[in-house]
Protein backbone atom coordinates (compact mmCIF):
# COMPACT_ATOMS: atom_id res chain seq x y z
CA UNK A 1 0.00 0.00 0.00
CA UNK A 2 1.38 3.43 -0.92
CA UNK A 3 2.13 5.91 1.84
CA UNK A 4 -0.66 8.23 0.63
CA UNK A 5 -3.68 6.05 0.06
CA UNK A 6 -6.09 7.03 -2.71
CA UNK A 7 -9.86 7.00 -2.87
CA UNK A 8 -9.61 4.14 -5.40
CA UNK A 9 -7.54 2.03 -2.98
CA UNK A 10 -9.99 2.70 -0.14
CA UNK A 11 -12.87 1.59 -2.38
CA UNK A 12 -11.01 -1.60 -3.34
CA UNK A 13 -10.18 -2.49 0.29
CA UNK A 14 -13.76 -1.82 1.41
CA UNK A 15 -15.18 -3.76 -1.57
CA UNK A 16 -17.31 -0.80 -2.66
CA UNK A 17 -17.29 1.64 -5.58
CA UNK A 18 -15.40 4.94 -5.53
CA UNK A 19 -18.79 6.64 -5.84
CA UNK A 20 -19.84 5.01 -2.56
CA UNK A 21 -16.67 6.24 -0.84
CA UNK A 22 -17.35 9.73 -2.18
CA UNK A 23 -20.95 9.63 -0.90
CA UNK A 24 -19.73 8.59 2.56
CA UNK A 25 -17.12 11.35 2.66
CA UNK A 26 -19.68 13.90 1.43
CA UNK A 27 -22.49 12.40 3.51
CA UNK A 28 -24.75 12.45 0.45
CA UNK A 29 -27.18 9.74 -0.62
CA UNK A 30 -28.03 6.52 1.18
CA UNK A 31 -25.26 4.09 2.09
CA UNK A 32 -25.55 0.78 3.94
CA UNK A 33 -24.40 1.12 7.57
CA UNK A 34 -21.97 -1.79 7.22
CA UNK A 35 -20.35 -0.28 4.11
CA UNK A 36 -20.16 3.12 5.80
CA UNK A 37 -18.42 1.59 8.82
CA UNK A 38 -15.88 -0.27 6.63
CA UNK A 39 -15.01 2.87 4.66
CA UNK A 40 -14.71 5.13 7.72
CA UNK A 41 -12.54 2.55 9.49
CA UNK A 42 -10.18 2.46 6.50
CA UNK A 43 -10.06 6.26 6.26
CA UNK A 44 -9.00 6.37 9.90
CA UNK A 45 -6.61 3.40 9.63
CA UNK A 46 -4.70 4.81 6.65
CA UNK A 47 -4.95 8.43 7.77
CA UNK A 48 -6.79 9.60 4.66
CA UNK A 49 -6.41 13.22 5.77
CA UNK A 50 -8.69 16.26 5.31
CA UNK A 51 -6.15 17.71 2.88
CA UNK A 52 -6.49 14.66 0.63
CA UNK A 53 -10.26 14.70 0.99
CA UNK A 54 -10.35 18.40 0.13
CA UNK A 55 -8.41 17.77 -3.09
CA UNK A 56 -10.73 14.92 -4.06
CA UNK A 57 -13.83 16.99 -3.33
CA UNK A 58 -12.87 20.52 -4.32
CA UNK A 59 -16.00 20.94 -6.37
CA UNK A 60 -18.24 20.24 -3.37
CA UNK A 61 -16.67 22.28 -0.54
CA UNK A 62 -19.09 23.23 2.20
CA UNK A 63 -19.45 26.87 3.20
CA UNK A 64 -20.90 25.93 6.58
CA UNK A 65 -18.63 26.07 9.65
CA UNK A 66 -19.46 24.45 12.98
CA UNK A 67 -18.77 26.39 16.20
CA UNK A 68 -18.78 24.78 19.65
CA UNK A 69 -18.95 27.11 22.66
CA UNK A 70 -19.30 26.09 26.32
CA UNK A 71 -21.78 28.88 27.17
CA UNK A 72 -23.05 31.39 24.62
CA UNK A 73 -24.48 33.48 27.47
CA UNK A 74 -20.87 34.36 28.37
CA UNK A 75 -20.25 37.92 27.08
CA UNK A 76 -16.71 36.91 26.08
CA UNK A 77 -17.79 34.05 23.81
CA UNK A 78 -20.77 36.03 22.54
CA UNK A 79 -18.55 38.97 21.51
CA UNK A 80 -15.93 36.77 19.86
CA UNK A 81 -18.55 34.78 17.95
CA UNK A 82 -20.39 37.94 16.89
CA UNK A 83 -17.24 39.54 15.46
CA UNK A 84 -16.31 36.28 13.72
CA UNK A 85 -19.75 35.89 12.18
CA UNK A 86 -19.70 39.45 10.79
CA UNK A 87 -16.46 38.76 8.91
CA UNK A 88 -17.41 35.21 7.88
CA UNK A 89 -20.77 36.25 6.39
CA UNK A 90 -19.06 38.81 4.15
CA UNK A 91 -16.95 35.98 2.76
CA UNK A 92 -19.93 33.73 2.10
CA UNK A 93 -19.72 31.41 5.10
CA UNK A 94 -22.61 30.27 7.26
CA UNK A 95 -21.81 29.61 10.93
CA UNK A 96 -23.60 26.86 12.84
CA UNK A 97 -23.41 27.56 16.60
CA UNK A 98 -23.92 24.90 19.29
CA UNK A 99 -23.61 25.10 23.08
CA UNK A 100 -21.79 22.16 24.66
CA UNK A 101 -22.19 23.19 28.33
CA UNK A 102 -18.74 21.49 28.60
CA UNK A 103 -20.64 18.19 28.68
CA UNK A 104 -18.84 15.20 27.14
CA UNK A 105 -21.91 13.43 25.78
CA UNK A 106 -23.45 16.60 24.36
CA UNK A 107 -20.17 17.63 22.77
CA UNK A 108 -19.78 14.20 21.13
CA UNK A 109 -23.29 14.45 19.69
CA UNK A 110 -22.53 17.91 18.31
CA UNK A 111 -19.29 16.69 16.72
CA UNK A 112 -21.12 13.80 15.06
CA UNK A 113 -23.74 16.20 13.72
CA UNK A 114 -21.04 18.45 12.28
CA UNK A 115 -19.27 15.49 10.67
CA UNK A 116 -22.55 14.26 9.18
CA UNK A 117 -23.23 17.76 7.83
CA UNK A 118 -19.77 17.75 6.19
CA UNK A 119 -18.97 21.22 7.55
CA UNK A 120 -15.88 22.98 6.23
CA UNK A 121 -14.27 23.20 9.69
CA UNK A 122 -15.10 22.85 13.38
CA UNK A 123 -14.09 25.70 15.70
CA UNK A 124 -13.76 24.98 19.43
CA UNK A 125 -14.16 28.16 21.52
CA UNK A 126 -13.23 26.75 24.92
CA UNK A 127 -15.20 24.00 26.62
CA UNK A 128 -13.59 20.65 27.40
CA UNK A 129 -10.43 21.57 25.49
CA UNK A 130 -9.88 24.19 28.20
CA UNK A 131 -9.92 21.48 30.87
CA UNK A 132 -6.34 20.94 32.05
CA UNK A 133 -7.33 17.47 33.22
CA UNK A 134 -8.48 16.35 29.77
CA UNK A 135 -7.60 12.70 29.23
CA UNK A 136 -5.21 11.63 26.49
CA UNK A 137 -8.13 9.67 25.06
CA UNK A 138 -10.12 12.88 24.61
CA UNK A 139 -7.21 14.65 22.88
CA UNK A 140 -6.90 11.61 20.61
CA UNK A 141 -10.63 11.79 19.82
CA UNK A 142 -10.31 15.41 18.71
CA UNK A 143 -7.29 14.54 16.54
CA UNK A 144 -9.33 11.75 14.92
CA UNK A 145 -12.09 14.25 14.18
CA UNK A 146 -9.40 16.50 12.66
CA UNK A 147 -8.61 13.72 10.17
CA UNK A 148 -12.18 13.92 8.87
CA UNK A 149 -13.02 17.62 9.35
CA UNK A 150 -10.37 20.29 10.09
CA UNK A 151 -10.49 21.40 13.74
CA UNK A 152 -9.57 24.93 14.88
CA UNK A 153 -9.00 25.33 18.62
CA UNK A 154 -9.29 28.72 20.36
CA UNK A 155 -7.44 27.23 23.34
CA UNK A 156 -3.67 26.70 23.56
CA UNK A 157 -3.37 22.93 24.10
CA UNK A 158 0.33 21.98 23.73
CA UNK A 159 -0.17 18.27 22.98
CA UNK A 160 -3.07 18.69 20.55
CA UNK A 161 -2.32 18.40 16.83
CA UNK A 162 -4.67 20.82 15.12
CA UNK A 163 -4.77 24.50 14.14
CA UNK A 164 -4.73 26.62 17.31
CA UNK A 165 -5.53 30.34 17.61
CA UNK A 166 -5.36 31.89 21.06
CA UNK A 167 -4.68 35.09 23.01
CA UNK A 168 -1.07 35.95 23.87
CA UNK A 169 -1.36 37.67 27.26
CA UNK A 170 2.12 37.39 28.73
CA UNK A 171 3.29 40.81 27.49
CA UNK A 172 0.09 42.55 28.67
CA UNK A 173 0.25 40.80 32.04
CA UNK A 174 3.80 42.11 32.43
CA UNK A 175 2.60 45.62 31.55
CA UNK A 176 -0.18 45.25 34.12
CA UNK A 177 2.27 44.35 36.90
CA UNK A 178 4.54 47.22 35.82
CA UNK A 179 1.57 49.62 36.02
CA UNK A 180 0.52 48.37 39.46
CA UNK A 181 4.08 48.67 40.75
CA UNK A 182 4.50 52.20 39.38
CA UNK A 183 1.18 53.15 40.99
CA UNK A 184 2.42 52.01 44.40
CA UNK A 185 0.68 48.64 44.79
CA UNK A 186 2.80 45.96 46.45
CA UNK A 187 0.28 43.57 48.07
CA UNK A 188 -1.94 41.88 45.46
CA UNK A 189 -4.58 39.11 45.64
CA UNK A 190 -5.87 36.92 42.79
CA UNK A 191 -9.62 36.28 42.62
CA UNK A 192 -11.82 34.07 40.47
CA UNK A 193 -11.49 31.11 38.15
CA UNK A 194 -10.68 27.46 38.75
CA UNK A 195 -7.32 25.71 38.94
CA UNK A 196 -8.27 23.01 36.40
CA UNK A 197 -8.87 25.45 33.52
CA UNK A 198 -5.95 25.89 31.10
CA UNK A 199 -6.41 29.61 30.42
CA UNK A 200 -6.80 30.33 34.14
CA UNK A 201 -3.65 28.38 35.02
CA UNK A 202 -1.62 30.13 32.35
CA UNK A 203 -2.92 33.58 33.32
CA UNK A 204 -2.08 33.05 36.99
CA UNK A 205 1.38 31.72 36.16
CA UNK A 206 2.18 34.75 34.00
CA UNK A 207 1.06 37.16 36.74
CA UNK A 208 3.07 35.38 39.44
CA UNK A 209 6.16 35.15 37.19
CA UNK A 210 6.18 38.91 36.52
CA UNK A 211 5.20 40.08 40.02
CA UNK A 212 8.58 39.53 41.65
CA UNK A 213 10.38 41.58 38.98
CA UNK A 214 8.32 44.61 39.98
CA UNK A 215 8.50 44.16 43.74
CA UNK A 216 4.93 42.90 44.05
CA UNK A 217 3.90 40.16 46.47
CA UNK A 218 1.07 37.90 45.25
CA UNK A 219 -0.89 36.42 48.12
CA UNK A 220 -0.52 32.66 48.37
CA UNK A 221 -4.23 32.03 48.85
CA UNK A 222 -6.13 32.36 45.57
CA UNK A 223 -9.86 32.75 46.15
CA UNK A 224 -11.56 30.67 43.47
CA UNK A 225 -15.04 31.20 42.06
CA UNK A 226 -16.90 30.73 38.80
CA UNK A 227 -16.40 33.29 36.04
CA UNK A 228 -19.58 35.32 36.62
CA UNK A 229 -20.49 38.60 38.34
CA UNK A 230 -22.03 36.56 41.15
CA UNK A 231 -18.77 34.62 41.41
CA UNK A 232 -16.99 37.94 41.95
CA UNK A 233 -19.52 38.91 44.65
CA UNK A 234 -18.92 35.69 46.54
CA UNK A 235 -15.12 35.82 46.18
CA UNK A 236 -15.02 39.41 47.46
CA UNK A 237 -17.21 38.50 50.44
CA UNK A 238 -14.63 35.88 51.38
CA UNK A 239 -11.74 38.30 50.92
CA UNK A 240 -13.41 40.92 53.12
CA UNK A 241 -13.30 38.48 56.05
CA UNK A 242 -9.50 38.79 56.14
CA UNK A 243 -7.97 40.93 58.87
CA UNK A 244 -5.78 42.72 56.36
CA UNK A 245 -6.96 43.50 52.84
CA UNK A 246 -4.62 43.61 49.83
CA UNK A 247 -3.86 46.88 48.08
CA UNK A 248 -5.04 45.53 44.73
CA UNK A 249 -7.07 42.64 43.31
CA UNK A 250 -6.41 41.01 39.94
CA UNK A 251 -9.59 39.24 38.82
CA UNK A 252 -9.68 36.39 36.31
CA UNK A 253 -12.01 38.36 34.02
CA UNK A 254 -14.11 41.53 33.82
CA UNK A 255 -17.29 39.83 35.05
CA UNK A 256 -15.61 38.75 38.28
CA UNK A 257 -14.08 42.24 38.55
CA UNK A 258 -17.58 43.74 38.22
CA UNK A 259 -18.83 41.53 41.06
CA UNK A 260 -15.84 42.52 43.20
CA UNK A 261 -16.43 46.21 42.48
CA UNK A 262 -20.13 45.90 43.35
CA UNK A 263 -19.34 44.20 46.66
CA UNK A 264 -16.73 46.85 47.47
CA UNK A 265 -19.33 49.59 46.99
CA UNK A 266 -21.77 47.72 49.23
CA UNK A 267 -19.12 47.92 51.94
CA UNK A 268 -18.65 51.67 51.47
CA UNK A 269 -15.19 51.30 49.95
CA UNK A 270 -13.68 53.96 47.71
CA UNK A 271 -12.17 52.65 44.46
CA UNK A 272 -9.25 52.86 43.82
CA UNK A 273 -8.38 54.73 47.04
CA UNK A 274 -9.15 51.80 49.35
CA UNK A 275 -8.40 49.00 46.92
CA UNK A 276 -7.57 48.70 43.21
CA UNK A 277 -9.36 46.25 40.91
CA UNK A 278 -8.24 44.77 37.58
CA UNK A 279 -9.96 42.44 35.11
CA UNK A 280 -9.31 40.67 31.80
CA UNK A 281 -11.10 40.62 28.39
CA UNK A 282 -12.26 44.26 27.98
CA UNK A 283 -15.95 43.38 27.97
CA UNK A 284 -18.40 46.23 27.33
CA UNK A 285 -19.36 46.29 31.01
CA UNK A 286 -15.77 47.20 31.94
CA UNK A 287 -16.10 50.45 29.96
CA UNK A 288 -19.45 51.57 31.29
CA UNK A 289 -19.45 50.64 34.98
CA UNK A 290 -18.09 53.47 37.17
CA UNK A 291 -15.20 54.28 37.39
CA UNK A 292 -14.22 52.00 34.49
CA UNK A 293 -12.29 48.75 35.02
CA UNK A 294 -8.59 48.53 34.18
CA UNK A 295 -8.32 45.43 32.00
CA UNK A 296 -6.10 43.28 29.79
CA UNK A 297 -8.04 43.61 26.54
CA UNK A 298 -8.84 40.91 24.02
CA UNK A 299 -8.56 42.22 20.46
CA UNK A 300 -11.82 40.68 19.26
CA UNK A 301 -11.57 41.99 15.68
CA UNK A 302 -8.04 40.68 15.09
CA UNK A 303 -8.90 37.40 16.79
CA UNK A 304 -11.97 37.01 14.57
CA UNK A 305 -10.00 37.85 11.41
CA UNK A 306 -7.48 35.14 12.28
CA UNK A 307 -10.24 32.56 12.81
CA UNK A 308 -11.92 33.37 9.48
CA UNK A 309 -8.56 33.38 7.68
CA UNK A 310 -7.91 29.89 9.04
CA UNK A 311 -11.35 28.76 7.87
CA UNK A 312 -10.61 30.11 4.37
CA UNK A 313 -7.18 28.48 4.10
CA UNK A 314 -7.71 25.37 6.18
CA UNK A 315 -6.65 22.98 3.38
CA UNK A 316 -3.22 24.59 3.20
CA UNK A 317 -2.51 24.92 6.93
CA UNK A 318 -0.44 22.47 8.94
CA UNK A 319 -1.96 20.74 11.98
CA UNK A 320 0.94 22.28 13.94
CA UNK A 321 -0.13 25.86 13.10
CA UNK A 322 -0.10 28.13 16.16
CA UNK A 323 -1.33 31.73 15.95
CA UNK A 324 -1.05 34.01 19.00
CA UNK A 325 -3.24 37.13 19.06
CA UNK A 326 -1.68 40.08 20.96
CA UNK A 327 -3.61 41.76 23.79
CA UNK A 328 -3.40 45.28 25.24
CA UNK A 329 -3.49 46.83 28.71
CA UNK A 330 -6.25 49.43 29.07
CA UNK A 331 -5.93 51.60 32.18
CA UNK A 332 -9.16 52.97 33.63
CA UNK A 333 -10.43 54.33 36.93
CA UNK A 334 -10.15 51.24 39.15
CA UNK A 335 -6.37 51.70 39.41
CA UNK A 336 -4.41 54.86 40.15
CA UNK A 337 -2.82 56.40 37.10
CA UNK A 338 0.94 56.65 36.98
CA UNK A 339 2.17 60.08 38.04
Is residue 297 a contact partner of residue 282, using CB atoms and an 8 Å limit? yes
**Overall average pLDDT of the 218-242 stretch:** 97
Residue 308 domain flag: yes
Poorest-confidence range of 5-9, 137-141, 299-303?
5-9
Residue 47 domain flag: yes
Q: Mean pLDDT score of the chain, rounded to an integer? A: 90
Same domain? For 204 and 101 the reply is no
Residue 131 domain flag: yes
pLDDT of residue 32 exceeding 60, the answer is yes
Residue 63 or residue 189, greater confidence: 189
What is the reported pLDDT for 16? 86
Q: 42, 58, 74: which is the final residue of a domain?
A: 58
Verdict on whether the full-model pTM lies above 0.95: no
Same domain? For 181 and 251 the reply is yes
Report d(CA 190, CA 200) in Å as an integer. 11
Report d(CA 98, CA 142) in Å as an integer. 17
Residue 332 domain flag: no
Is residue 192 a contact partner of residue 227, using CB atoms and an 8 Å limit? yes
Residue 40 domain flag: yes
SS3 of residue 286 by DSSP: helix
Same domain? For 37 and 126 the reply is no
Q: Which domain holds residue 29?
A: 7-58
DSSP string for 234-267: HHHHHHTTSSS--SEEEESSHHHHHHHHHHHHHT
Considering only the C-alpha atoms of the chain, give the largest distance between any 2 of them, rounded to a whole number of Å. Answer: 77
**Overall average pLDDT of the 275-288 stretch:** 97
What is the reported pLDDT for 2? 45
CATH of the domain at 41: 1.10.260.40
Residue 339 domain flag: no
CATH of the domain at 157: 3.40.50.2300
Same domain? For 83 and 115 the reply is yes
Same domain? For 76 and 116 the reply is yes
**Overall average pLDDT of the 55-81 stretch:** 82
Q: Taking the chain, what is the end-to-end CA distance rounded to the nearest angstrom?
A: 71
Cβ count near 313 (within 10 Å): 11
Compute the chain's Rg from CA coordinates. Answer: 23
Strand 322-326 vs strand 163-168: parallel, antiparallel, or unpaired? parallel
Sequence-ordered list of residues with C-beta below 8 angstroms from that of 20, at least 6 positions apart, any chain: 11, 14, 31, 35, 39
pLDDT tens digit string along 82-113? 999 999 999 999 999 999 988 888 988 899 88
String of b and e for 86-109 (b: at least 16 CB within 10 Å)? Answer: ebbeeeebebeebbbebeeeebee
pLDDT tens digit string along 204-228? 999 999 999 999 999 999 999 999 9
Poorest-confidence range of 12-21, 165-174, 256-265, 308-317?
12-21
Same domain? For 266 and 306 the reply is no
Residue 158 or residue 182, greater confidence: 182
Same domain? For 268 and 193 the reply is yes
Residue 202 domain flag: yes
Structural domain count, the chain:
3
Residue 18 or residue 189, greater confidence: 189
SS3 of residue 296 by DSSP: strand
Same domain? For 132 and 78 the reply is yes
Same domain? For 286 and 308 the reply is no
Residue 331 domain flag: no
Same domain? For 44 and 88 the reply is no
Same domain? For 70 and 211 the reply is no
Same domain? For 202 and 283 the reply is yes
pLDDT of residue 203 exceeding 50, the answer is yes
Amino acid sequence: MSEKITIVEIAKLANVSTATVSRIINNTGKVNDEKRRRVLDLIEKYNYTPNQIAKALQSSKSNTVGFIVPHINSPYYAQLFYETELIAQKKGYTLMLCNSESDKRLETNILNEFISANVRAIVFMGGRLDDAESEKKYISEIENVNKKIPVISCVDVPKLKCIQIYQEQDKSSRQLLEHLSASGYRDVALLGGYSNVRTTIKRREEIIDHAEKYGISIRREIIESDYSVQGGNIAMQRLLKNDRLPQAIICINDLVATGVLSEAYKNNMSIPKDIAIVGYDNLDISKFIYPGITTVACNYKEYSKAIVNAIENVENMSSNTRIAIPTDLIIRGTTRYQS
